[in-house]
Structure 1
Amino acid sequence: MTNDNTKPKSKASPPRPEDDANKQPRSLFKPAKPEDLDPLDLSYRPPDGDEGDDTSEQPEPELDDFARALYGEYRDYGITTYRELDRLNSAASEVRFGKPRVALFKLKPFAVMRLTDADLVVSMGAISAEERKDHPTKANLLLNSGDAAELKGPHSVDLIDSAIADLYAHFPHFGPALQAIRECANLSITRGAQWLEFRPILISSGPGMGKSTLARALADRMALPVIWLDGSTMTTSVPLIGGDAVFRSSRASTIVEGMINNRIGNPIVVLDEADKIADMSRGARQDPTQALLAFLERGSARRVHDHFLGIDLDFSHLNWVLLANDLNRISPAVRDRCKVIQLPPLTPDHLAAIAASEVERRHLEPELVSALIKACRVGQIKSLRKLHKALDAAQAVRTRPLLH
């Protein structure tokens, strides 16, 4: 016999529509700041109590020794678990052409881009054995062009400021050029970039002032590969956009080879002796100066056709440094697309200060400073090139072994 006074068990009240409306959906995606960025926060962790009824946190399995050795190149990002490694691989495999992707990790972000449309490479079909034999370089570059390329360099304003400060300590006479790079790179960071990116810069000064040395030091301090182009020997557009592969003697673009082999999408490209470029193709190929213009504007550089590979590539993240001795010989169209820095000649006081700093940095005898300063003031040393030759000779004498 049932008891009528027995109360029925309480049932959970159904969820109200307003509760669902107030609950914010979880998502791994962040709204993109710049139009050409597709960021993905792979370090996302849901807040406490947002994993359902089971609040016990299961420890993530860490990478074993084999995985650490296999993926050792990514240790700088602070990846220690398989889950983080899967997220990194996901970012690299899902990045789209023209839309860089950023994954956030413990130590620094992982930014990637795709140099060309992977579907385009696949649609071209398998490269025949005959084509591999005739153009092995083209076959290898074409097969690797669809891989993801990293975007590296300082990823914060503080890191950029620190790098520029170190360079200024060694190259104080290039202060205006370093300041221009700093301002442009910091502006890119504030707009959402997680890598080094600055507007093309054209540095003009007299010969022997150390422009080439500065360019190499800039790439080294920013931890980026450098692609070197020599304007004095650039008589065609082949170093920029490659040669037509129908000719067996054709070769790939220097820029394309550097980007694909290093798997870096934002290397520092140095065009040395930019004022000595001459078109000697006689109409057979595009004028090298005209071909250069497509690289210096971000909009047109997003899709540039490479004649050797026969595909379009994204060059919009290259960091261009143009070096020249005579600014008047640079095309006005090139100057308009660059931040132009014209440096005055070095004075004897500048050379003397640099000499004292170099003697201390190289741990040479302090007595050498007075001799170098005197040589600078009387005009025996008029350029940095001569100053460094004198310092190299003094350093060689000091390290020369004694003969018995």
Structure 2
Amino acid sequence: MSKIEVRNIYKIFGPHPDRWLAAAREGLSKEALLERSGHTLGLRDISLSIEEGHIHVIMGLSGSGKSTLIRHFNRLIEPSAGQILVDGVDVVSLKPRELERFRQSKMSMVFQRFGLLPHRTVLDNAAYGLAVQGVRRAERDERARHWLEQVGLSGFEAQYPHQLSGGMQQRVGLARALATDAEILLMDEAFSALDPLIRHEMQDQLLALQAKLNKTIVFITHDLDEALRLGNRIAILKDGELIQEGTPEDILLSPANDYIESFLQDVNRGKVLNASHACNERPLTLTMRTNPARALERLAARDYDYAAVLDGKRLAGVLMRADAQNAAQAGARDISRHLSDMASVPASAGLDEVLARLLRTPEPLAVTGEQGEFIGVLSRSKVVELVTTATTGSNEPEPEPAAGEAAESGQLV
């Protein structure tokens, strides 16, 4: 379900944006608009659907329009045209008093430079949003203490911002945003001012909190690694235009153009993609009750040396062709007593971990889900391709494996 709908947002900075809106809609470039009118194109025809409970990352380089866009959500910046719908309500149409209530109840914001009040204690900073809402002192202090504890700052309530490290200050900002219990959290380059190690810790903190809170989070960053780590979906902007939007996997595996590919050059894909992305597209599966002769027929039809065997949805083991032949010769009714164990990896395992497993054993590896259900069999060639090969964007089909390669995973390569 969509929590936020961004519909055809335009933003032109300058004294007379309405005069140049039509030109922007007709495709006048950012450079040409500035040269002809002295106006700056901030955003051009941006549309996004942000799902409830997701972390939606908006990323791009400096000047791409990402921070401009997030400030439209709570109307810190007014659009030149378009709509921002939150739970079906057009934020653009809200009157001043309605907008004030909306900001206090629906959205909280975490800024890049922390935005703390230097003359207030950590506790008072964390409780500030509640004070603005008119919450009684005892209740707001209690709630602020709770969220300071959640972000690891219990015991620092009486300190002042200048007495804290940068990472601790950002934790206060996060606690302040969470204390208001707003449904939507806007995070504008919230971790970019932090050292790399602290930044990684803050990402861990956010993911841990999100697992419990299930907030709708709009996260702005210029760092693709951060976007891939945090985002359920990612939108990439360039010069005020939306270039590509999709899941991290969509963007890694199918970059829209050369600009997106340039972002991906240094990404460790093994840490982003997981085992589910490297399953063979044509797995052969049998059931515990499959007749040995029928199993041999199916193996021969695909020229496979083995097949995964399922017990319901769960992986029961693997049937080798030689074992199927022995079962048939012995007159067995089914293959249930002729299986071998089959090693497996969880679908969520990163490809770097999967590759390490594959290098240690020539045996086939199954991929299983959270409940142990069978998802597929790993393709060794696909794992290597995804981890080591730069994305080319080619849609050409892969060549069939040579006969000698088939044995590595029973033709499931």
TM interval, short-chain normalised: under 0.3
Whichever structure has more strand as a proportion of its residues is: 2
Tell me the TM-score normalized by structure 1: 0.23
